[in-house]
Amino acid sequence: MAAKLRTRNHKVVFARSAGGDAGITIMLVLLGAFMFLPMVYVVMQSLKPLDELWMYPPRFFVSSPTLGNFASLFSLMNISWVPFSRYIFNTVFTSVMGTFGHLFIASLAAYTLAKIKFPGGKAMFKTIQTSLMFNSTVTGITSFIILSAFGWLDTYLAIIVPAWGSTLGLYLMKQFMDTNVPDTVLESSRLDGAGELRTYWIIAMPMVKPAWLTLIVYSFQGLWNAGASAYIHSEQLKSLNYAIGQITAGGIKRAGASAAAQVVMMLVPIMVFVFSQSNIVETMGSSGMKD
Amino acid sequence: MSNKTAEKKAVSRKDMTMMQWTWKEMKKNWLAYLMVAPYLIIFSLFTIVPVLLSAILSFTNFNMLEWPDIVWLDNYITLFFDDDIFLTACTNTFIFACIVGPASYLLSFLVAWFINELPPKIRAIVTLIFYAPSISGQVYLIWGTLFSADSYGWVNATLLELGLIDKEIAFFKDANYVMPLCIVVSLWTSLGTAFLSFIAGLQGVDRALYEAGAVDGVKNRWQELYYITLPSMRPQLMFGAVMAITGSFGFGGIVTALCGFPSVDYAAHTIVHHLEDYGGQRYEVGYSSAIAVILFAIMVGANALVKKILSKVGV
């Protein structure tokens, strides 16, 4: 016997207690404060004039905000040994090349693994999925040997090419194609005489735009946040993140500029996420591991 | 007798046809191999080959300059019996992973669950607040400012003000505080991919199941969570677990950034630090490969274990 059906205005009433709602709200506010206040503090520090940065007792909020720290960050950039625009170029160039190469070859492989049945395909995906279980710290040192064997150490290739083979992007793309590209559509395209490559590019790819965007965002974030790399020792090939780190390593005199630098560096990935959030969450809908 | 040979023949013919069939399929799908080749080559080169190479080099004393000698298990024996710092690193890594792994997993799930019923616009903003620290590069350095060793550090100043301490605490240089603080900071940055996966998973649970549950007498949200929500999002829970485990055993960057290297009294020295120390600084590649192999085994083993546990959740 079904328990009594509770409806109001023809809608099912879910079991929610006011106490539970209140408890959840309180938890959420506390956790939210823990997550959000340090981020606010970075912004506050970046806006504080010198006398407020070294005020005792320190205050959390800024009372007379100034952009002076950002100005001094940019003047510090101008006196760097390698022109600062070079660091910016390095990071933008490796991020763009790494991301687009990854998007292209990973989506091609994801399509093949998701939608074509061929001997060995399952085993390949299984191997790739297993590699999500360890990270690049495990492979870092031997990758160094491989890069040096190719003569790629201290070139852009040492940053760009390994990024093409990252795992998470392929995994998410393949899972998304599994659920969002119906086999029947592909079948009719093949019957119309389109080759496999054409079907991939004209039919499948436009159907998985959220997954593209997710893959781009993930790859870009990784490359953007990359600091000093063990594979790069020439100063003029180093990343923006490394250069910013050098500025902030200048000790307590640069506390303001350092906070300003952190704000600049975090603004880019946050803006990227704000614009891509709904697509990323949609992609994550099929991220689950079935076995 | 003749019967037996016939059987044998039949089996071998079946084998042949199986192989022939596979070969035929392979020839028919030649394009598929071509299409996965670019990714698979790069993936193998920078993921599979490095793992295999580490396994091989871990039995040698390779130092990047001379041709390696085979030393069999010497590296592993030294690690476990002669290297006290490695044992410290193991202990720290396990403490760390056993706290941060489950805590970040639970936190990701709970927050995703808490915000699931908020209106979409508000949910998007709250998601951003919780997710932002994990994508903002080195923004966690702000914890160094908050917990700075002098009285200009907000935490020290507040504690002094309240009269709880009489002298500033050098938080990131004090062996008593290093580990707990690094755990807090890394929890702060840990609501990443798994968190987004949980949000999507919760959104994807079929509403009809909840309605059916309400009709069938689900009394409160905990019952709903246990009987309906968790079983329907087991794939996301699995994926999230993999992300949490990999992240928590690969921990090290935050310690180096906040406490310097090595951390005071090796209080927050992890396997990752030990690996980077021998591989990146001293070029003892054979020895560091052995460390990498152990870390690899720990990560994959932990994943297998958690997979087993999760397959029993909410049945």
* DSSP calls for B183-231: HHHHHHT--SHHHHHHHHHHHHS-HHHHHHHHHTT--SHHHHIIIIIHH
Q: Chain A 65-104, CB below 8 Å of chain B: which residues?
A: none
- Residue B76 within a domain: no
- The residue of B25, B46, B148 whose CB has the most chain A CBs within 10 angstroms, and thus the best one to mutate to test that interface, is B46
Same-domain status, A143 and A257: yes
Residues A159 and A271 in one domain: yes
A141 occurs within a structural domain: yes
Instruction: Using an 8 Å CB-CB cutoff, list chain A residues near B64.
Output: 145
Residue B70: phi, psi to the nearest 5?
-80, 125
CA gap B145, A72 in Å, rounded: 19
Residues counted in chain A = 291
Distance from CA of B211 to the nearest CA of A (A): 6
10 Å CB burial of residue A19 (0-12, 13-18, 19+) is exposed
Going by C-alpha positions, the residue among B49, B254, B47 that lies closest to residue A168 is B47
**Residue A7 pLDDT greater than 80, yes or no:** no
- A90 and A32 share one domain: no
| Chain A: closest CA distance from residue B50 (Å) | 5
Q: What DSSP designation does A55 have? A: -
- Specify the 3-state DSSP secondary structure of B111: helix
Distance CA B103, CA B111 (A): 12
Residues B39 and B88 in one domain: no
Q: A49 and A143: one domain?
A: no
Is A270 within the bounds of a domain? yes
Alpha carbon of B74: minimum distance to chain A alpha carbons (Å): 19
- A255 to B145: CB separation less than 8 angstroms, yes or no: yes
Mutate to test the interface with A, among B20, B33, B39 (most CBs of A within 10 A): B39
Domains of chain A: total: 2
Q: What is the pLDDT of residues B95-120, one digit of tens each?
A: 999 999 999 999 999 999 999 988 99
pLDDT of amino acid A56 = 79
Query: Looking at the structure, do residues B37 and B134 belong to the same domain, yes or no?
Result: no
Residues 6+ apart with CB under 8 A from A217: A272, A273, A276, A280
Give the model confidence (pLDDT) of B161-180 as tens digits: 888 888 888 899 888 999 99
Lowest-confidence region among A233-247, B54-68, B171-185: A233-247
- Name the minimum distance, in Å, from the CA of A79 to any CA of chain B: 23
Query: What is the DSSP track for B22-50?
Result: HHHHHHHTHHHHHHHHHHHHHHIIIIIHH
Residue A143 banded pLDDT, cuts 50, 70, 90: very high
- CA–CA min distance B2, chain A (Å): 36
Q: What residues make up the domain containing A258?
A: 77-284
Q: What is the ipTM of this complex?
A: 0.90
* pLDDT tops 70 at residue A74: yes
Within a 10 A sphere around the Cβ of B15, how many other Cβ atoms?
10
Domain presence at residue A72: no
At a CB cut-off of 8 Å and minimum separation 6, what does B283 contact? Answer: B63, B64, B65
Q: Is A248 on the interface with B (CB under 8 A)?
A: yes
Confidence label for B27 from pLDDT (cuts 50, 70 and 90): confident
Query: CB–CB of A32 and B130 under 8 A?
Result: yes
Contacts 24+ apart (CB under 8 A), A270-274: A270/B128, A270/B132, A270/B135, A270/B136, A272/A217, A272/A220, A272/A221, A273/A217, A273/B128, A273/B131, A273/B132, A273/B135, A274/B128
Clarify whether residues A154 and A126 are in a common domain: yes
The answer to whether residue A84 is domain-embedded is: yes
- pLDDT value of residue A1: 36
Q: Which residues on adjacent β-strands are paired with residue B278?
A: none
Question: Is the residue at A11 inside a domain?
Answer: no
Are residues A102 and A50 located together in one domain of the fold?
Answer: no
Query: A62-75: b or e for each residue (b if 16 or more CB lie within 10 Å)?
Result: beeeeebbbebbee
Cβ contact (<8 Å) for A145 and B217?
Answer: no
- Per-residue pLDDT band for B141 (boundaries 50, 70, 90) equals confident
| Domain membership flag for residue B68 | no
Tens-place pLDDT, residues A164-179? 999 999 999 999 999 9
Q: Could you tell me if A62 and A128 lie in one domain?
A: no
Contact A168, A131 (CB under 8 A): no
Exposure string of B236-250, with b = 16+ CB inside 10 Å and e = fewer, is bbbbbbbbbbbbbbb
What are the beta bridge partners of residue B70? Answer: B60
B256, part of any domain: yes
Q: pTM for this one?
A: 0.90
pLDDT at B182: 94
* A262 in a structural domain: yes
The mean pLDDT value of chain B amounts to 88
Which of the listed residues B43, B58, B76 is the one where a domain comes to its end?
A: B43
Q: What is the pLDDT of residues B186-227, one digit of tens each?
A: 999 999 999 999 999 999 888 888 888 888 888 888 888 888
Taking CA–CA distances from A5, the nearest residue in chain B reads: B215
Instruction: State how many domains chain B has.
Output: 2
Q: What is the pLDDT of residue B16?
A: 67
CB B107 within 8 A of CB B190: yes
A146/B61 Cα distance (integer angstroms): 18
A123 contacts chain B (CB < 8 A) = no
The CATH number linked to B122 is: 1.10.3720.10
Distance (Å, whole) CA A138 – CA B288: 10
Phi, psi of A27, deg, nearest 5? -55, -45
pLDDT at residue A215 is higher than 90: yes
Are A125 and A254 members of one domain? yes
**Residues A192, A54 share a domain:** no
Best of A262, A277, A287 to mutate (most B CBs within 10 Å, chain B): A287
Rg (alpha carbons) of chain A, rounded to whole number: 25
Which parts of B29-162 fold into alpha helices (H)? 30-43, 49-57, 74-81, 84-115, 120-135, 142-146, 154-161
Domain encompassing residue B30? 1-43
* Statement to judge: residues B174 and B293 lie in one domain: yes
Among A66, A94, A126, the domain boundary falls at A66
Judge if A215 and A112 occupy the same domain. yes
Q: Is residue A241 part of a domain?
A: yes
Q: Do residue B46 and residue A139 have CB atoms under 8 angstroms apart?
A: yes
Both A106 and A193 in one domain: the answer is yes
Q: Are residues A150 and A231 in the same domain?
A: yes
Distances (CA, A) of B201 to B185, B187, B190: 26, 22, 18
